[in-house]
Amino acid sequence: MPDTGMFTTAPMSNIFSPRAHVQRMLDFEAALARAEAAAGVIPPEAAEAIAAACRADLYVVDALYAQAVEAGTPAIPLVRMLTRQVAEPGGAFVHYGGTSQDAIDTALMLQMRDGLALLDADLLDICEACARLAEQHRDTLMPGRTLLQQALPITFGLKAARWLALMCRQVEALRACRDRSLALQFGGAAGTLAALGDSGMHVAELLAQDLDLPLPDLPWHAERDRVANLACALGVTAGAVSKVAGDIVLLAQTEVGEATEASAPGKGGSSALPQKRNPVDSMLALAASRLALGHVPVVLSAMQQEHERAAGAWQVEWEAIPNLFCYTAAAVSPLRSAVQGLQPNPERMRQNLDVSHGLLMSEALMMALAARVGRPEAQSIVQSAGERAVKENRALRDVALADEQILAHLSPEDIERALDPAHYLGSTGAFIDRALEAYRALSSGGEA
């Protein structure tokens, strides 16, 4: 696809570049030759000659893919070029007993392993930034909002702690998926390793070891749950990114003003409007996130693969998986910038708590009353006080302090206390601590 670089990152594009793809297929061919030599299937000199020729810079990548369109697979021209490159008699042992799909699927697995490592690092950076926000703003009061209506006070630390927990879970999920779903592909033309006679399993074991990929029980040419699992894990991560990025965009609204992205020259301005400060990183993260998760159903619906190798459904992955990794990286990466540079505005947060007559504290008042008169009656009393506050454009506090029904059960001090947001935070601190603790356990585990 035409690539402007706006919806990928350079490191991820490198992992999935055509040249890197060729190199990864060559890595498979080299490892196959070594494994077969070790198993006594092909001569050691042939393996050496093959391995020496398995360098992508020896080949014209564009020509290879042009031929791939004809052949229907890049592995055929690759094997042809590689064979030509290897001095006889080694050429006869190139790709020995393997099939196109062995090379292509294993290359994809190697690329995905690298891609997951990149995402892991970026996600941990996001976690670290969220953890810092959660600690620093543990007690920074702000409105909690449900259905975009102010509901109850929370702290910005709690919001950051929930972002943190979400992102930690993505790190864990991607690692679990990596451990469960990466696997060698090696089965030969119809998944029997027929050309290797009795040596198939032995070569497979050596090959898996060489490439440091798990050896599956048997080939999986047309059973794509492994790839689909990885695609889903990325899709969920992209979705998780969209939650945090979406919150930032909402916090940055002119009328809310509770957080802004870091500014920099050339960043987030408008072509027409000098005053604007657009949440550009979150915006790009949201766009890339949508592109990423849009590829998940493409991979899932391509799981209906015919017999021992599919005609069309498998080939979809060649494009969909690289896209998915690049788009996910393009979602994670600007979110990292957005969170790392985020500038919360505690003053606006505090001001916003007083918007709409202090009605945000209705529940607190209601609960205080409910302890005396039961919830239904308390709810009715407070609702009518709230309605009066709105109608008469007064603060709920003033209405409550003058309300006979309320004063019958609560003292003015009770009312003041009930209406103080800082006293109505429940388990906020405990929740933040739990999220931070889980993060520390995760991050002290180091690169998993």
Active site residues: 270, 309
> Contact, 380 vs 416, CB < 8 A?
no
> Contact, 232 vs 224, CB < 8 A?
no
Tokens, residue 39 = 């198993």
Integer CA distances (angstroms), 173 to 111, 127, 295, in order: 18, 14, 19
> Contact, 424 vs 153, CB < 8 A?
yes
Which has the closest alpha carbon to 168: 113, 244, 101?
244
Amino acid present at 343: Q
- Burial of 42-68, coded b for 16+ CB within 10 Å and e otherwise, reads bbeebbbbbbebbebeebebeebeebb
> Contact, 228 vs 179, CB < 8 A?
no
The DSSP line for 329-384 is: HHHHHHHHHHHHT-EE-HHHHHHHHHTGGGGGGHHHHHHHHHHHH-HHHHHHHHHH
- Burial of 252-286, coded b for 16+ CB within 10 Å and e otherwise, reads beeebebbbbeeeeeebeeeeeeeeebbbbbbbbb
Query: Nearest distance from residue 341's CB to a second copy, in Å?
Result: 13
- Run of H or E including 77: helix 75-85
Report the DSSP pairing between strands 259-260 and 141-146: unpaired
The DSSP line for 371-417 is: HHH-HHHHHHHHHHHHHHHHHTT--HHHHHHT-HHHHTTS-HHHHHH
Query: Nearest distance from residue 411's CB to a second copy, in Å?
Result: 18
With 0-12 / 13-18 / 19 or more C-beta atoms within 10 angstroms meaning exposed / middle / buried, residue 316 is middle
Query: Nearest distance from residue 328's CB to a second copy, in Å?
Result: 12
Query: Nearest distance from residue 414's CB to a second copy, in Å?
Result: 14
DSSP designation for 263: P
Which has the closest alpha carbon to 325: 221, 235, 387, 224?
235
Query: Nearest distance from residue 63's CB to a second copy, in Å?
Result: 11
Query: Nearest distance from residue 250's CB to a second copy, in Å?
Result: 6
Which has the closest alpha carbon to 126: 429, 445, 439?
439
Tokens, residue 198 = 């009795």
CA distance 156 to 134: 7
Question: Closer to a second copy at the Cβ: 6 or 413?
Answer: 6
Query: Nearest distance from residue 155's CB to a second copy, in Å?
Result: 9
Question: Closer to a second copy at the Cβ: 355 or 448?
Answer: 355
Query: Nearest distance from residue 232's CB to a second copy, in Å?
Result: 4
